[in-house]
Amino acid sequence: MKDKQAPILVVDDEPEMCWILDNIIRRTGFTCMTALNAGEAIALAKSQRFGMVFLDAKLPDIDGFDLARKLREINTGLSIVVVSGYFYHDDLTIEGIIKEGLIDAFIGKPFDNDEIVGVITRFACK
C-alpha cells in the first residue's frame, strides 16, 4: 500500500500543464510538486520521496523515458505515468515500455480530468 501522504510529482516543460495537473491532483487530496525539466525533477526526487510522478515524454533537457529510468533508480517503487501528446495508447513504444515495467500507465494529451483522477486512484491509493 502506498503512503497516502507521499506527494505526487509533475514533470512538464509547459507551466500551464503543471498548473492543470497540480490542481487536479490537489483536489484528490494529495500534495503536489512540479518540475519544468529533468534536472529539477531529479533534484526533487533525491530530496523528497514521491509516491507517483506524471511525466511528459518530451522534455527540453532529456527524453522523458530516460528520465523515467533515472527516477526508477532513485525510487524503485515510484509509480510513473507518462502524459504525452506525441504518443498514443497503441503506440509500440508505449506498449513496450509498459511491458518492460518502466512506466505504469500512459495518458494522451489532451486528457479528461477523470483520466488523471482514475490513474491516481489506481496507483497512488493502493
Return d(Cα 25, Cα 22) in angstroms, integer: 5
Q: Using one digit for the tens of pLDDT, what is the confidence trace for 70-90?
A: 999 999 989 999 998 565 556
Q: Is the pTM of this model over 0.85?
A: yes
Return d(Cα 51, Cα 45) in angstroms, integer: 10
Return d(Cα 113, Cα 73) in angstroms, integer: 29
Of residues 102 and 41, more confidently modeled: 41
Of residues 104 and 96, more confidently modeled: 104
Q: For 87, what's the count of Cα atoms within 13 Å in the CB-facing half-sphere?
A: 22
Domain ranges of the chain: 8-124
Q: Using one digit for the tens of pLDDT, what is the confidence trace for 34-72?
A: 999 999 999 999 999 999 999 998 899 998 899 999 999
- CATH number for the domain formed by residue range(s) 8-124: 3.40.50.2300
